[in-house]
Each structure stands twice: as C-alpha cells, then as structure tokens.
Structure 1
Amino acid sequence: MKTYRHLFFDLDHTLWDFETNSEEVLRFQYDDHRLARYGFTVEQFMAYYSEVNHALWRMYQGNKITQQQLRTTRFARTLTKLGVPEAEVPADISDQYTSLLPHKTAVFPYTFEVLNYLQAKGYTLHLLTNGFREIQYVKLNAAHLTDYFREIVTSECSGCLKPDGRMYQHALDRAGTTAADSLMIGDNLECDVLGAANAGLDQVYFNPAKRRHFAQTTYEIACLSELKEIL
C-alpha cells in the first residue's frame, strides 16, 4: 500500500457534522422567529433551506456569486419560496444563523479517535476547506479540533475554491510537500475527489450515505474508522 506523509481533510460534512449542527440552529430559528404562523413546518423550513443553500453554494463554488450574496440571499429565498412576504423576512435571520452555527460542536463518529490515531502514526494533518475563514476557525475551536492541524487552508487565503487545482497547489506549498506524498479526505466528489485527482493527489471519498456514483476514487469509506484500514 502506498505511503503518505501529509493528510488533507475537508471540514464540513467530513469531520464537522454540518447537517446535525445546522438542523439545531434552524430549529431554534423557526421558534425564535415564530415561523409557524406562516403555515409551514420546521421540517419544510429545513428542507427548503437545504435545497436553496446547496444551489447557492454551487453557484459560489463556480464563481457565479460572491460570499456576501450567498449569505444575504439564502434565507430570503427560502422564506419567500415558503410564502413569507418579502417585507416580513426577518432582517437578522442570516446573521443570526452565521453567528450561532459555528459554535455547535457535533462531529462525525470516530473523529477524535481517528485523528489521534493518525497523529500517533506520525502523519502531518492539514485542513483544506471552502468554508468562510472566520467561521471555520470558530468551528474548529468550539469543537476542539484546531490543534490537530498544522496548516488550515481556506478558499479566502488561497484566493480560489476547490476543485480549482490552484487551491490544492497552494495547500501543498503551505505544507511544504508534494502531491505524491499527500492524500485528500473529503465528502464532495467534485471538490474533494475530482479536484484532488486533477491536482495529482490520491483521495479518500467519505461517503457515509453510500450514494451511488461512477467516479474513480483511490479509496472510499462510509465511516471515518475505516481510515485505520488504509493508513
């Protein structure tokens, strides 16, 4: 089996359990803003938000909208689709979400066990994320993840987004390593798997939902504990 020295992890949906943490915040906001009075359930609110947010993130990753446009648009679009008059969309709901979310601490099963194992095995761990810099650092600190990673590379510090090969090269340069010595671990086929492959890195596709796909991946796992079988 190939030997690696540097491991690059994605954060959201890979280590930090975005869905669990986001659901907790959205449930709070549904009650806090009394959204039930508009006739939709909290489950509908979360489902619509997820759909809108995912679509806008794809636009952001394709450089079609800015970070600020993403932040200011997602709740307004969600709520108006659910029938809330535009004039009644809470002005602070987007900032509230952005403020509350990174303080949530749910991570995927075996996160700490696996990170401790990899450190003990002598791997150098790094983080490579498209998330907003100030939010990602709050997440890492709140979830007690920061100290595991030597380099924390965000899209803002690299000037581009995964799957852009320039972001991978920036991360390799920051880490002082090469693609041949490195492995990317993430949940997104386009950004983490194909992006890494195009940059010359082997990849681990983290696929806990066991979604069917036709991508060529170096490795695929459904649970983080399976990394012990690879590394």
Structure 2
Amino acid sequence: MKTYRHLFFDLDHTLWDFEKNADETLRHLFELHQLGRYGTFGVEEFIGVYSSINHALWRLYQGNKISQQQLRAVRFTRTLTKLGVPENEVPATISQEFTNLLPRKAAVFPFTHEVLDYLQTKYTLHLITNGFQDVQHIKLTSSGLTPYFQEVITSEHSGFLKPDRRMFAHALERTGATAAESLMIGDNLECDVLGAYNAGIDQVYFNPERRRHFTSVTHEIACLSELKSFL
C-alpha cells in the first residue's frame, strides 16, 4: 500500500454539503422576497431552475469564460426571468443576500468530522478549492472544519482553477509536499480527479450517488467513512 503524507480535500460537494445548504438558503430567500406571490412557480421549481442555471454558469467560470462578478451578477436574474418575473422586479439584493447567507450554513456530509478526526492524527490535511476565497473561510468556520486544515488553497489565491495542473503545483509548493506523497479527495471527475492525475497525484473520487463513469481513478468511495479502510 502506498504511503501518503499529505491529503488534499475539495470542500464543496465533498465535505461541506453545498446542495443541502443552498436548498435551505434558497427556501429562505423565496419566503423573504415573497416570490410565491407571482403564482406561476413554487419553491421547488425556483430551486430547480436556479440550480440548473448556477451549474451552467459555474462550468463557464471554471473554463475561464466568465468572471466571479459576472456569475454572481446574473444567476438570480436569469433564474427569475426564466420563471416569468419581469427583470425590473427581480430583487436587487437577492444575489448578495445569497452570498452572505449561504456560507453560514453548517451542513456537512455524513462522517465528515469523524473521518477528519481520524485522518488528522496520521496525515497533514489541506483544502484545495475553486470556491470563492471570500466565502470559503466562513464556510469552514460555520461548519467547524477550520481546525483540521493546515493550508487552504483557493483558485483566487493561486491564480489558477482546477483542473489546471498549475493549481496543483502551487498547492504542492505552498505545502512543501511532493506529488508522490499526496492524495486528492474530491467529487468532481474533471476538476479533482483528472486535475490531480495530470499533476501526478493519486486521487479518491467521492461519488455518493454512485454515478456511472468510465474514468480510471486510484480509489472511489460513496461515503467518507470508507477512507478509513485504506488510509
């Protein structure tokens, strides 16, 4: 069995339960702005349309085709106008409210704290994330994850986005780790698995929904507790 010294985790969708936390935040904003008054859509449709548009925008952002500011500026306008809300009636504050409220949510995936408690006694733990720097540290504090990680490497700080191998090279340089002694754990086959592979780093694909794929990975898990079986 290969010996690792440094473990690099993705944050959103891997440790911090983005979907659950976003769902709670979107429900709050739906009520706050009384979006049900339009009578043409409910909260479930609002969340579904937002999620689809947000995911598409994130793919553009990760492909360096739009900026962080552009992503934040248009996602709610596109969501609500698609649902039939006149553009001049889209709440001007809703995007900033989402940005303020979401990172203060605390839901994490099952066994997150238990597994990190176990791993931190054996390895040096780090985070490497494409998430926006101004909110990632709030998420870590809100969910009690801050103490586990020695370094938090964000795309904004490094100047590159996963899967760019230069982001992984930056992470190795910043942490003093080598590729051979490192392991990347994340939910995204392109950003986390392929990015780490291209940087010469072994990977763990976190696949809780057991999505079918044809990508070769070093390890694959459906629950974080499975990390304890080989680490």
TM over 0.5: yes
Deviations 1:109-167 (A, max 9, x none): 000000000012x2000000000011000000111111100010000100010000000
Structure 2 residues not aligned, in runs of 5+ = none
Match of 1:197 in 2: 197
Equivalent residue letter for 2:139: K
Match of 1:41 in 2: 42
Match of 2:188 in 1: 188
Alignment coverage as a number of residue pairs:
230
Deviation at 1:206, TM superposition (A): 0.2
Q: Could you say what the CA RMSD is over the residues aligned between the two structures, in angstroms? A: 0.5
Match of 1:88 in 2: 89
After superposition, residues 14-93 of structure 1 pair within 5 angstroms as: 14-38=14-38, 39-93=40-94
Question: Structure 2 CA distance, aligned partners of 1:214 and 1:80?
Answer: 37
Question: Structure 2 CA distance, aligned partners of 1:83 and 1:164?
Answer: 38
1:207 paired with 2:202, answer no
Runs of 4+ aligned structure 1 residues displaced above 6 Å come to none
SS of residue paired to 2:190? helix
Equivalent residue letter for 1:50: S
Match of 1:144 in 2: 144
User: Identity over aligned residues, as a percent?
Assistant: 70
Deviations 1:83-133 (A, max 9, x none): 11000000000000000000000000000000000012x200000000001
Question: Structure 2 CA distance, aligned partners of 1:230 and 1:41?
Answer: 45
Question: Structure 2 CA distance, aligned partners of 1:187 and 1:41?
Answer: 30
TM-score scaled by length of structure 2: 0.99
Equivalent residue letter for 1:87: N
SS of residue paired to 1:125? strand
Match of 1:12 in 2: 12
Question: Structure 2 CA distance, aligned partners of 1:8 and 1:50?
Answer: 27
Question: Structure 1 CA distance, aligned partners of 2:66 and 2:48?
Answer: 22
